Amino acid sequence: MHQTATPSAQGLYDPRHEHDACGVGFVVDIQGRRSHRIVRQALQVLINLQHRGACGCEANTGDGAGILIQMPDRFLRKEADRAGIALPPAGEYAAGLIFLPREAAARASVQALFEQIIVEEGQRVLGWRDVPTDDSSVGPSAVAVEPVFRHLLIGRGTVTAVPGDSAGAWFERKLYVIRKRFERAVDQLTLAERQFVYVVSLSSQTLTYKGMLTADQLGPMFIDLADEAVESALALVHQRFSTNTFPSWPLAHPYRYVAHNGEINTLRGNINWMKAREALLESELFGDDLKKILPVIREGGSDTASFDNVLEFLVMAGRSLPHAVLMMIPEPWQNHESMSAERRAFYEYHSSLMEPWDGPA
């Protein structure tokens, strides 16, 4: 029977607990086997979450939707061969989805700037790939501000990792420095040049497709996602219900590390404290590159984008992902009667380094 009204309180259900929020989904093969099936399942999960997203007065203009997958090496190798680009072995190259200006001269200027920074950081520009899209189902408001979509392929340069650091971790850190330098340089461009510009992802490990879309528009929009060669052992999807920012192409999730459901109530304090700490930051892993990545939090982002900026920084500085997440979102440990002394000490120590990013997350 189709439900047209909220049911009355019964069993464990109480209508007072109803809340609207974004939809988040995650699909994984726990044995790490990559397949296109995982990608298809994730896109179906996203469609199943469509009721958790929002659209404008145009039903076909959404608040945002996206998917994060492992690097689809077989697919990118096929596409690179078709474009005459020689890809190094998996792990020794990076790919990123880049939003670029629609005007040709501005786009060429932005791409040249990106390439210059890559070379200055000792890495190799392998080439650019046009990402095929079909926006026929996308609403006019989203199409009016739609960027040009291109994949950027970067080859790993000579590794100069510190002792105990892996070549893969070093490369990810160098890509992070490149992206942060590019973002800062873009802010100095003219409005015509920087309009539409955004680095969706830039990594040797993951690739993200996202945009100002509804859940069922993501697959048709990015034609790559229908290719059987796009394989992953995991996929993270998100359907957005924007609450504290207007919808836009860059503000769709997933970001580079997270997709988030909820609001961060302590956001302004979190941002201010992070800025205050920047003068005291030190890192053996970054060394002199540390100054190139500041500010850690990029202005103009949503609460989740700001959270993702800090989480990414903590991971790049050498912490594991679980460690960094527990620093930012600690359990309520102070009065926890059954918590072990070791875990309590962990939270107590980190509370002196960072305040919680708090909210109904």
**Cα 161 to the chain's mean position, in Å?**
25
252 in Cβ contact with 99 (< 8 Å)? no
How confident is the model at residue 53, as a pLDDT? 53
How confident is the model at residue 360, as a pLDDT? 59
How confident is the model at residue 192, as a pLDDT? 80
How confident is the model at residue 20, as a pLDDT? 44
Q: Are strands 148-155 and 206-211 parallel, antiparallel or unpaired?
A: unpaired
Let me know if 55 is a catalytic residue.
no
How confident is the model at residue 57, as a pLDDT? 55
Question: Which single residue is written with the structure tokens 């590390």?
Answer: 257
Measured between alpha carbons, how far is 315 from 88 in angstroms, rounded to an integer? 25
Measured between alpha carbons, how far is 181 from 254 in angstroms, rounded to an integer? 22
3-state SS track over the chain = CCCCCCCCCECCECHHHCCCCCEEEEEECCCCCCEHHHHHHHHHHHHHCHHHCCECCCCCCECCEEEEEECCHHHHHHHHHHHCCCCCCCCCEEEEEEEECCCHHHHHHHHHHHHHHHHHCCCEEEEEEECCECCCCCCHHHHCCCCEEEEEEEECCCCCCCCCCCHHHHHHHHHHHHHHHHHHHHCCCCHHHHCCCEECCCECCEEEEEECCCHHHHHHHEHHHHCCCCCECEEEEEECCCCCCCCCCCCCCCCCCCCCCCCCCCHHHHHHHHHHHHHHCCCCCCHHHHHHHCCCCCCCCCHHHHHHHHHHHHHHCCCCHHHHHHHHCCCCCCCCCCCCHHHHHHHHHHHCCCCCCCCCC
283 in Cβ contact with 171 (< 8 Å)? no
Q: What is the pTM of this model?
A: 0.88
Helix crossing, 167-186 with 104-120: angle to 10°?
A: 140
How confident is the model at residue 361, as a pLDDT? 45
Q: Which long-range contacts (CB under 8 A, 24 or more apart) does 157-166 make?
A: 157/121, 157/122, 157/123, 157/124, 158/122, 162/284, 162/285, 162/287, 165/285
253-280 confidence digits (pLDDT tens): 888 998 877 778 898 999 999 999 999 9
Sign of CA dihedral 291, 293, 294, 296: negative
How confident is the model at residue 247, as a pLDDT? 80
Exactly one of 4, 7, 20, 22 is catalytic; name it: 22
Task: Point out the residues of the chain with pLDDT beneath 50.
Answer: 1-5, 18-20, 361
How confident is the model at residue 62, as a pLDDT? 80
Gap between the terminal Cα atoms of the chain: 32
φ, ψ of residue 352 to 5 degrees: the values are -85, -15
Q: Are strands 198-199 and 93-100 parallel, antiparallel or unpaired?
A: antiparallel
Q: Which residues contact 22 (CB under 8 A, 6 or more apart)?
A: 52, 53, 238, 239, 240, 241, 253, 259, 260, 261, 262
Measured between alpha carbons, how far is 357 from 303 in angstroms, rounded to an integer? 10
135-150 confidence digits (pLDDT tens): 999 999 999 999 999 9
